[in-house]
Structure 1
Amino acid sequence: MTQIPMQKATPTTHADIRPLWRWTAALILPIGPAAVALLRYFLPYNTTDDVPTIVNKIVGNLDRSSFVLWLGYIAFLTLVPGVYFVGRLTRRSTPWLTAVAVVLMIAGYLSLPWTAASDVFTWSAGTAGLDPASIAKAADVTHGSMNLAGFVFVIGHVFGTILLGIAMWRSHVGPRWAAIAVLVSQPIHFVAAVIVSSHTLDLVGWGLEAAGFAAVGWAILRMRDDEWQPLP
Structure 2
Amino acid sequence: MSQAAPQTRVDIAWLGELPCRVGQILIDKTPGEFLLCHRDDAGRSDLATSWTPYAASEIARYDDAGQYRRLKTAPNLRHGWLLLLQDFAALPLALDLFYPGRVAAYEAWSRDKLTTTRFRDTLARQSGMYRAAAKIGEQEADQLIANFCRSDGGCLRTILWKRTADAPCASTRLPPEKFDVSYDQTGRCERTLPLLCQEACNLLVAEARQVVKDGA
**Do the structures match in fold with TM over 0.5?**
no
Higher strand share: 2
TM-score calculated relative to the size of structure 1: 0.27
For the pair shown, the structure with the greater C-alpha radius of gyration is 1
Name which structure has the greater RCO, CA cutoff 8 Å, separation 6+. 1
Higher helix share: 1
TM-score calculated relative to the size of structure 2: 0.28
